[in-house]
Every structure is written in C-alpha cells, then in structure tokens.
Structure 1
Amino acid sequence: MDGVNLKRDKLTVGDVLKNALRSRCWLKYAIALATPLILMLLLLAVCQRNLFNFTPLWSDELGYWHETNTAVNRGLFSNNSGYFSYLEIPTNLLFYGAHGIFIIIPYYLIGIVLGWTTYTPLIANIIFMTAAMLLFARITRNTRHTAILAVLLLFFNYFLMYTISPPCRRRCITPAAL
C-alpha cells in the first residue's frame, strides 16, 4: 500500500449534523419517524379512542394477543403454556399453531422489554412501521420519495386498518418487511 494515505479526517457529531441540515436529508428521516405515529393518532382520533384503552376484540386479535401473553408470562418453550393449534390438538414440538413461533418472537421481545398489556401490540406495530419507514428513508436518496410514500400511506386503507390498528402480527410485519 505504498503511497496510500490511510488516515481519515475525524468527523464530529456537530459536523454530521451540519452536513445533514445543509443537505436536508433530516427531512426525510423526520417524515419517516412521524408517519406511523401520525397515522396512529389520526386513527385513534377518528375512532374517538385512547391508545391505552385498546382491547383486542375479534377472534384473531384475541388469539394472537393471548399467544404472546402466554409466551411472555410462561416462556416460549414452556410445556405449561396451553395449545394454540387447530382444534387445540396437542403437537409434539411447539404449541403455536400453523403460523409457528417465528411470527411471535418480535412481539415476545417487545413484551419482555415493555411488558405485555392490551395496548402493547399497538406500540409494537408503531415500532415496526417506524423501523420500516426509516429503512426506506435510508435506502432512498430523495426526500420527495419518502414524502410521497407518507402521503400514500395516509390514503391506503389496508395500511391504516390492518397494520396500525389491530395487533394482527402478519398484517403488520409483512408490509413492514416489504
């Protein structure tokens, strides 16, 4: 490596912030951070509800919530955790029905950290969608693309009703992963 200077200039946090403010890249991150939270607040305002008063209502919500509650309180691999399978027939390996254990793990980890209440899935969904939006903002080079996605999400009923409101795991994690 003759003739190659491997020394790099040291960047400070102030330098990074100045460059970000000059390039306006902070705007796309602000949009990405705010979009899921704004959507949740809009949905709660329209429904005249409070985040902390949420209760799972229909069968899938109740089942998914209870599976995660059981995993958080009893452990993922406990034999004393009940069965969540077709007709509640015991299985030989795991107790989590056709969808398996992997869809529970992200919610389980959040439940371990935050505690598992009736509104924890909503907070988890906000976390997942915010992470997906931040990743999208990081990948895209254009602030306009991030803003367009945020506006489109405001009008996309599937996103509003199934990824933010009910704690249906597959309906939140799948669009976040896409």
Structure 2
Amino acid sequence: MRTIVQDIADELVASGAERGLQVAVYRRGELLADVVAGVADAAFGNRRDVLTAEIPAGGTMTARAVARVYDALLTGELVPPARLRELSAPAVRGLDEVTGVEAAWGLGYAIGLSPGLSGDTVFGMPGSGGTVAFADTATGVAVGIMKNRIGDFTAVDRIGAAVVSAAR
C-alpha cells in the first residue's frame, strides 16, 4: 500500500499538479502508509497567529492524525457499530447548493466524496482546497490526504481510488 501511495504522490508532484502532499492510510489500527511527497512546508500553518486564529472550517492536523480518527470510527473506538452504520449511510440526497452537483450526506459526513470515490460505502469530509479525510466501510481503510496548495481533487481521486482498490 505504501509504495502505491508514494508512487502516485511523487508523480503528482513531479507533474506540477501538486507542490507537496502528506497521505496516511490506516486499516484496523495498523498504519499502512505514511507518505510525504514534494515540499512539506509547514511554516505558515505552524505560526502561532495561525494556530490560535479562529478560521472557519480550518483544521490543524496531519494526514496521519485525521486518518487515525476515521480508523477509530471504523473500529468502534469512537462510536458503536450501529451508530457507525447510521452516520455513514445516506440520509439526504439532492443538489449541493455550494458545489452545484448532486450529493449525498449522512449524519455529518459526505457520502461518496468525488468521482473517484463515489460509492455509498465511502464517507468523510472534503476540504475546500482539495484535502480530504474519509473511510470506506467496505474495505475498512481510513485515509487522510493533506496538501500545501489549494486546488482541485485530482490527488484525492487518484490516491483515494488506488487505496480503496488495493484494499479490496
């Protein structure tokens, strides 16, 4: 798994599509991949004024940390299995007024995050700059993808789809 993720991350950076990526993958408490590619410049994000600012929808975490949270959801450490089924199942479907595309939402989580991760077994939260954290209930993988360049979801689609496919 680590080699697959590292190869895709390196390719995205080499092509210029990304400047720097951090990707982590867990499965049942085991860290399967913890990858950094390109420039992992945390200087801005680690400034005291940024860390203490109230930035709406701005999280301060690593890919490994957020992937571990999703892994804890899958393994029952944070919620019981019945609650996981509730929160990760589509509760509402319709037009997302922000993105303008059809979307499904569970209880606090997007269901099927992007074209590459479109199934009802994938739940998580995409970030506006192309970062994401998600889990797949069918394969048991939990993934965090953090970027240092605001952009699209190319990295999420490529890496996420490869991880889910390899986990099957």
TM-score (norm 1): 0.26
Point out the structure with max Rg over C-alpha: 1
Judging by fraction of residues, say which structure has more helix.
Answer: 1
Judging by fraction of residues, say which structure has more strand.
Answer: 2
